[in-house]
Amino acid sequence: MSMFSRLFDAIGETASTAFSGVVEAVRTVFAGDPETRRKVAFSVAVIALSAKMAKADGIVAPEEVRAFQEIFAIPQDEAANVARLYNLAKQDVAGYEAYAQRVAGMCGSGNANCAMLEDVLDGLFHIAKADGLIHEKELEFIANVADIFHVDEVHFDRIMARHVHPDGIDPYAVLGLPDTTPFDEVKKRYRALAADSHPDSMRARGVPESFLSIANDRMAALNDAYAVIEKARAAA
């Protein structure tokens, strides 16, 4: 039985009326299987918040749907269940804030700037920018979710710098450093972020294989930022 089938079997008719029933069930259905629990928690978080964000600007663009499909390669045997979750999230009477609060609790550590929740935010940015523009309401949505996730302002600015750069990419902002930072410190920060963003690290915290395009995008942004700084410092 697939993981989402197990989830729906456990919650039964509850899932027809409230997405919150799905969120609570993740905690118990997979309690004895922490690896699967992390994967299901991450998947449910991205499905639900993607569905709710897609309407943040009042329009669900085809590009946003395709972007969702890009980072969520749905196995054929899960397609119906994923569609059910997505549609349920759109219809739930609960606001996204209440749902994001439940997602925040899935991290487990209870600490600020949880890496798994940062992965969720990257997924939301990926979808929001798919139509060529991150709408003001979409950015507000993601920022509010980040606040609920206890992602501090400095950390969120670094995440956002990878995706939102109307005046061109700022390599120091991508690394979360001032432009006066000594190069040895730049290299240290780059290596730490690269290690945390490696696909193996993301797998370990529950990011499913289908979402690893997020890791590739993040690594590309980090590599580009470091290369620009290294070249500029060498020429100085």
For 170-206, how does the pLDDT look when each residue is reduced to its tens digit (9 = 90+)?
999 999 999 999 999 999 999 999 998 888 888 777 7
pLDDT in tens, 54-73: 766 666 666 666 666 666 66
Cβ-based neighbours of 144, under 8 Å, separated by 6 or more: 96, 97, 100
Tell me how far apart the alpha carbons of residues 103 and 148 are, in angstroms, rounded to a whole number.
9
3-state SS, residue 97: helix
For the chain, the distance separating the N- and C-terminal CA atoms, rounded to the nearest angstrom, is 60
> Of 169 and 222, which is predicted with more confidence?
222
Cβ-based neighbours of 222, under 8 Å, separated by 6 or more: 174, 175, 190, 193, 194, 197
Tell me how far apart the alpha carbons of residues 65 and 73 are, in angstroms, rounded to a whole number.
12
Q: What pLDDT is recorded for position 210?
A: 66
Band of residue 227 on the pLDDT scale cut at 50, 70, 90: very high
- Predicted TM-score of the model (pTM): 0.78
pLDDT in tens, 17-56: 566 677 677 777 787 787 777 777 777 777 788 778 876 6
Which ranges of the chain does DSSP label H, i.e. alpha helix?
3-11, 20-29, 34-53, 62-71, 79-91, 96-104, 115-128, 136-148, 153-161, 171-175, 183-197, 199-204, 213-235
Tell me how far apart the alpha carbons of residues 99 and 81 are, in angstroms, rounded to a whole number.
19
